[in-house]
Amino acid sequence: MCCDSEFYPAVLLLPVKVEDRVRFVTLLFSSPAVVEVLNLFKLGEELCQRDVVKALSHRSNKTVIESLKKLVSLRLLAESVKRVERNGKRIRVKCYSLTEIGKWYVTLFKDPRDFEPNTLHQLLEELFIKFVERFTELAKKVGFNENEIYQHLLANTLKTHSKKLHKEISGNQ
């Protein structure tokens, strides 16, 4: 199978049930604002609703808040409520942070160079492990033997890398 070099390889973690997958993808891509909101988040960082609304001042408050709700319902963001003091009054403030799944989606919509190399390495390793686990489960359900799966993965990986290495060696001569 050939991959076009103009396309970025991505693994999406999606819900198991087909109808949930359709809902997930439809909600996530329902508006550019949803992806815009998601892109504001950095790994390990919490943003409060007020900060998100301010950062996206070109969008209506309603659109930004609806986008936050969609991302929470998709379980890409976790919502928390904090009590803070403003102008001498104690008020409740909604804050958001990326969930484990949310981390993967942030990497999907950002340039890999925007991440610390160690952080990106760790994320890619975790994602690869999750992908192989889920792929193995699915392959077993359709009748593949687990050893066959791993042998096939390893053989194809080695074949791909040996071709790449051969090209590099040939190009240097």
Nearest to 55 by CA among 70, 39, 71, 44: 39
Sorted by where each begins, the domain ranges of the chain are 18-111
Mean model confidence pLDDT for the chain = 87
CA separation for the pair 48, 40 (Å, rounded): 11
| pLDDT one-digit tens code per residue, 144-153 | 888 887 888 8
Nearest to 63 by CA among 26, 96, 36: 36
CA separation for the pair 170, 173 (Å, rounded): 6
Residue with the bigger pLDDT between 5 and 81: it is: 81
73 Cβ neighbours under 8 A, 6+ residues apart: 27
pLDDT at position 17, please? 92
Nearest to 71 by CA among 83, 57, 58, 56: 56
pLDDT at position 1, please? 45
Could you tell me the CA-to-CA distances from 117 to 63, 121, 126, 159 in Å, in that order?
A: 34, 6, 14, 27
| pLDDT one-digit tens code per residue, 8-23 | 777 788 888 999 999 9
The third-level CATH classification (topology) of the domain covering 18-111 is: Arc Repressor Mutant, subunit A (1.10.10)
| pLDDT one-digit tens code per residue, 20-71 | 999 999 999 999 999 999 999 998 899 999 999 999 999 999 999 999 999 9
pTM: predicted TM-score of the whole model, two decimal places? 0.75
pLDDT at position 65, please? 97
Q: Looking at the predicted structure, is the pLDDT value of residue 2 above 60?
A: no
The mean-pLDDT minimum among 45-59, 97-111, 150-164 falls in 150-164
